[in-house]
Structure 1
Amino acid sequence: MLIHPWDAGLDEAEWQTWLADGHDFGQLSVNGVPGQSPVVVPTHFCSDGNQLLIHLARPNPAVKAIEHDPNVTLTVIGDYAFIPGPWRAERGTPPADGVPTSYYTTVQFTCHARIVDDPEGKAELLRRQLAHFQPDGDYALVAVGRPPYGRMLSGIRGLRLEVTDVKAKFKYDDDEPVELRTAVADRLDTRGQGLDVPAARQQRRRLDRIGTWKP
């Protein structure tokens, strides 16, 4: 992933805070077995220290690919918006001469995957996931040999992804003049389509921290 200096995360807390704000769904990319394309799996995940926790249905082809090569990438993308060219035209130039772009936030985890197949290991993984996604505790106990989850454990395979590297990118025109960035954020709020409002929020947040970009 290309990350320009002005797109880079300002510190670890920036991407950690963004993830904690409900960004816990990503795409797991697994190197394919020889002669096959990589396998990409959309999935929820949660963290456990330096590990990311995922579970997959037993027939999922990603598991076979991980058995061949445990080096994987988990990518999370959000707060994205298309920015029309006229919004970015330089002052004094025709609006049609402006060049469009995309705004987005992404965090990519490079990981070493370990498959969890023992029943108690899978039950513990599910307990941690449920504690994250249903913090109110409105779910049955996950225990080996106890319904409803006990009989389902054989149908899944757990994954513990040990994070070895993290790359974060916040692409919001931070190298452009303050006036342009402010105007684009206003236009995103006015358009209000898709993730326009969250994208504008990210742009203003970065603008407040960076101000005028200084290489």
Structure 2
Amino acid sequence: MYLPSHFRSDDLESALAEMRAHPLASLISVDETGLPFVSHLPLHVLPPHEGGALRLLGHCARANPHWKLLQAHPRALVSFLGPQAYQSPRIYPDLQRVPSWNYVAVQCTVQARLIEDADDKDRLLKCLIGDHEPAYAQQWRGLDAAFTQRMLAGIVGLELEVTAWQCKIKLNQHRPESHAAMRAGYEAGGESGQALAAWMDRLGMGRP
């Protein structure tokens, strides 16, 4: 992605935090026509362990042809979009300015491995359940075995090994004259704007 140096973050912990806070990612491959093929999937983030690679876990419906694309061409992109909000030109002390948009995004180059074993898929699902509704794990375990086997057969598990990543934090860092007004506007706005204001806090922006 386009990544000017003033918007680039090399802080892995910040990237991991955004990926976990906004787990619905766009998984992007190239299809046989040469066009991007995109699946929107919630992904579980496995942090690097003892020098190993960062990995992402997810699944798609067996009816979704994306897994066949990954089988043939395992290299793909994963894009996470974090908080995002409009930026008004009114934040500047002068009039010769234009509107813009601020956001946080993480992009990963991945190598995909398909997961077909039912027990492995069950473990993968428990990771996702643990992220979003841990109490559901008991209900899942209590379901009829024939039903759970049909559900597991209907999905293809995905393990995505991250081979490279980029984190973009676009918060007008290069325009300090705008920070105080931008921050005030975001703090008074909705959830996404408030999340951007929290990012400004982390970066030390907009405070006297």
TM-score, normalised by the number of residues in structure 1: 0.83
RMSD: 2.5
Structure 2 residue 84 is the aligned partner of structure 1 residue 80: yes
Residue identity opposite 1:40 in structure 2: V
CA contact (8 A) 2:10 2:166 kept: no
Distance 2:15 2:61 in 1: 29
Distance 1:189 1:122 in 2: 42
Is the partner of 1:59 in helix, strand or coil? coil
Distance 1:43 1:180 in 2: 36
Distance 1:142 1:16 in 2: 33
Structure 2 residue 143 is the aligned partner of structure 1 residue 139: no
Q: How does 1:107-186 map to 2 (within 5 A)?
A: 107-136=106-135, 137-141=137-141, 146-177=145-176, 179-186=177-184
Cα distance change of structure 1 residues 7 and 39 upon mapping to structure 2, 3 Å threshold: same
Amino-acid identity (%): 25
Cα distance change of structure 1 residues 142 and 167 upon mapping to structure 2, 3 Å threshold: farther
CA contact (8 A) 1:103 1:171 kept: yes
Distance 1:14 1:168 in 2: 8
Cα distance change of structure 1 residues 146 and 56 upon mapping to structure 2, 3 Å threshold: same
Cα displacement (A) at 1:36: 4.4
Is the partner of 1:165 in helix, strand or coil? strand
The gaps in structure 1 that reach 5 residues or longer are none
Spell out, residue by residue over 1:8-51, the C-alpha distance to the aligned partner (whole angstroms, 9 max, x if none): 1152222223334x221111111212x24211111101023421
Cα displacement (A) at 1:78: 1.7
Is the partner of 2:16 in helix, strand or coil? helix
Q: How does 1:8-19 map to 2 (within 5 A)?
A: 8-19=8-19
Residue identity opposite 1:80 in structure 2: Q
Distance 1:201 1:3 in 2: 21
Equivalenced residues, count: 201
Cα displacement (A) at 1:174: 0.9
Structure 2 residue 2 is the aligned partner of structure 1 residue 2: yes
Task: Choose which of 61, 70, 73 in structure 1 pairs with 2:74.
Answer: 70
Q: Structure 1 residues 46-55 or 109-118, which shifts more? A: 46-55
Is the partner of 2:141 in helix, strand or coil? coil
Residue identity opposite 2:118 in structure 1: P
Cα distance change of structure 1 residues 24 and 85 upon mapping to structure 2, 3 Å threshold: same
Is the partner of 1:104 in helix, strand or coil? strand
Distance 2:57 2:10 in 1: 26
Cα distance change of structure 1 residues 5 and 60 upon mapping to structure 2, 3 Å threshold: same
CA contact (8 A) 2:44 2:57 kept: yes
Spell out, residue by residue over 1:52-103, the C-alpha distance to the aligned partner (whole angstroms, 9 max, x if none): 1111110102112212211111111121011122323xx4x3x2x2122110
The gaps in structure 2 that reach 5 residues or longer are 48-53
Cα distance change of structure 1 residues 48 and 141 upon mapping to structure 2, 3 Å threshold: farther
Structure 2 residue 207 is the aligned partner of structure 1 residue 207: no
TM-score, normalised by the number of residues in structure 2: 0.85
Structure 2 residue 56 is the aligned partner of structure 1 residue 52: yes
Cα distance change of structure 1 residues 148 and 134 upon mapping to structure 2, 3 Å threshold: farther
